[in-house]
């Protein structure tokens, strides 16, 4: 009787552990098709036509701003590249340059973080087109104890932090945190 109760508790614990995360919400997959939104750790190449002294790469600092010559701090966290171009052009037009032509492009994406049952957990550079499989490969591959079917990703979407379970073929976004779980058997 005790043995059956113990097996029952063990089975209940396994089922409870398996349901602690749900599949990724729809917002995970919708975020892939949205325009890229800047955050701390990104580096942006900003060009101002015929203004070589202003054309440079600028990092988004921890408070979410870019320090730009002449105009000072420009809010970048939560903005797209097009919105950054507009902000900078508007500020430059206000007493500095008559008709500024500003373009912005990503110079370096913020890193992804890989934890759990991988060869070398840590921070890794994001590469466009990166999938979970490619990110795990960059982190030294799976350990012998790793659950290789799917992983948990924590991602910030519209200011909200979400965690969901995705297949290894799913794309990764800059700033994602991947967690490779240990398998039970």
> What is the structure's pLDDT at 10?
45
Q: What residue numbers bound the domain in which 86 lies? A: 43-108
Strands 177-180 and 112-116: parallel
pLDDT band at 143 (very low <50, low <70, confident <90, very high): very high
The single residue listed with the structure tokens 């939104």 is: 37
> What is the structure's pLDDT at 5?
46
Taking the model in full, what pTM does it have? 0.78
Total domain count, the chain: 2
The residue from 51, 86, 108 where one domain ends is: 108
Q: Which two tokens stand for residue 109?
A: 């994406």
Question: 154 and 120 in one domain?
Answer: yes
User: What is the number of residues in the chain?
Assistant: 185
Residue 1 is assigned to a structural domain of this protein: no
Question: 61 and 28 in one domain?
Answer: no
For residues 172 and 145, give the distance between their C-alpha atoms in angstroms, rounded to a whole number.
23
Average pLDDT, integer, range 16-32: 65
Residue 10 is assigned to a structural domain of this protein: no
Q: What is the CATH number of the domain that holds 104?
A: 3.30.1950.10
Average pLDDT, integer, range 88-98: 92
pLDDT band at 6 (very low <50, low <70, confident <90, very high): very low
CB of 156 within 8 A of CB of 163? no
pLDDT tens digits along 103-132: 999 999 999 999 999 999 999 999 999 999
pLDDT tens digits along 42-67: 999 999 999 999 999 999 999 999 99
Residue 6 is assigned to a structural domain of this protein: no
């Amino acid at each position: 009787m005790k043995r059956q109760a113990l097996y029952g508790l063990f089975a209940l614990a396994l089922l409870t552990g398996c349901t602690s995360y749900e599949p990724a919400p729809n917002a995970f997959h919708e975020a892939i098709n949205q325009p890229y939104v800047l955050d701390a750790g990104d580096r942006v190449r900003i060009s101002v036509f015929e203004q070589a002294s202003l054309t440079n790469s600028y990092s988004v600092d921890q408070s979410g701003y870019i320090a730009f010559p002449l105009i000072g701090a420009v809010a970048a966290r939560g903005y797209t590249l097009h919105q950054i171009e507009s902000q900078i052009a508007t500020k430059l037009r206000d007493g500095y340059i008559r008709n500024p032509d500003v373009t912005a492009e990503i110079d370096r994406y913020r890193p992804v973080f890989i934890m759990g049952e991988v060869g070398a957990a840590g921070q890794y550079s994001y590469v466009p087109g990166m999938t979970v499989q490619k990110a795990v490969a960059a982190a030294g591959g799976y350990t012998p104890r790793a659950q290789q079917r799917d992983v948990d990703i924590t991602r910030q979407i519209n200011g909200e932090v979400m965690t969901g379970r995705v297949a290894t073929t799913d794309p990764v976004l800059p700033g994602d945190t991947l967690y490779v779980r240990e398998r039970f058997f």
